[in-house]
């Protein structure tokens, strides 16, 4: 009963604004198709979209992985660099290093991390300058079903 049901894995390419948001929208469709609760799909969609956009805008590329468990959804976003120098500052609402060309597309409000955190039940970020960034997020599927 407690085993993983299925997982989705997408590769995210850097600077690829043409397909921006495609991994997270495919994830939403797959979760909906599999009967995952509407509010859970909405939260997971937001978290995945923000993580995907950050990988596209700021990283050299990475991987977005979503695991579906009976009681929760696990999200793992891992990239290959360049990492974040000052994570505490990067997590502050409104902080952004988005380049002007990305701002022209409406990105760079500095709300990605705050949004990911707000929509997650568990949220942690590991980053190492020069190496990469790893985001782990958990969204519980229902209060009655939370892990003991």
Where on the chain is the footprint of ligand ADP (CB under 6 A)? 50, 54-55, 58-59, 79, 82, 84, 90, 95-98, 107-113, 133
Cα angle 119, 121, 122; round to 5 = 115
Residues in the chain: 148
Task: Choose between 113 and 140: whose C-beta lies nearer to Mg ion.
Answer: 113
For residue 130, count other CB atoms closer than 10 A to its CB.
8
51 versus 73: smaller Cβ distance to Mg ion: 51
Kindly state the smallest distance separating residue 117's Cβ from Mg ion, in Å: 12
By C-beta, is 79 or 141 nearer to Mg ion?
A: 79
DSSP bridge pairs for 73: 68, 139
Tokens (6 digits) for 74: 């696990």
**Using CB atoms, what's the residue nearest to ligand ADP?**
112
**Of 23, 21, 25, 29, residue with least CA distance to 10:** 23
- Counts of helices then strands in the chain (DSSP H, E): 5, 5
Q: Closer to ligand ADP at the Cβ: 55 or 139?
A: 55
Contact (CB, 8 A) for 127 and 83: yes
- Choose among ligand ADP, Mg ion, none what residue 120 binds, the Cβ cut-off being 5 to 8 Å by kind: none
If one asks whether residue 112 binds Mg ion (CB under 5 A), the answer comes out as yes
Pick from ligand ADP, Mg ion, none: which does 58 bind, CB < 5 to 8 A by kind?
Answer: ligand ADP
Give yes or no for a contact between 107 and 39, defined as CB atoms under 8 angstroms apart.
no
Among ligand ADP, Mg ion, none, residue 108 binds (CB under 5-8 Å by kind): ligand ADP
Contact 119, 76 (CB under 8 A): no
10, interface contact from ligand ADP, Mg ion, none, CB < 5-8 Å by kind: none
Binding region for Mg ion (CB under 5 A): 54, 112
């Amino acid at each position: 009963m407690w085993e993983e049901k299925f997982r989705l894995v997408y590769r995210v390419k850097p600077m690829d604004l043409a397909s921006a948001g495609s991994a997270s929208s495919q994830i939403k469709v797959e979760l909906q198709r599999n009967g995952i609760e509407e509010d859970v799909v909405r939260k997971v969609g937001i978290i995945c979209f923000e993580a995907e956009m950050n990988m596209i805008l700021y990283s050299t590329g990475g991987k977005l992985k979503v695991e579906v468990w009976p009681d929760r959804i696990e999200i793992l976003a891992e990239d290959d660099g360049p990492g974040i120098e000052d994570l505490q500052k990067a997590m502050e609402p409104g902080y952004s290093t988005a380049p002007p060309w990305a701002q022209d597309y409406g990105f760079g409000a500095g709300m990605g991390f705050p949004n990911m955190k707000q929509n997650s039940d568990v949220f942690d970020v590991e980053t190492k300058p020069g190496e990469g960034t790893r985001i782990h997020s958990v969204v519980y599927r229902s209060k009655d079903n939370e892990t003991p």
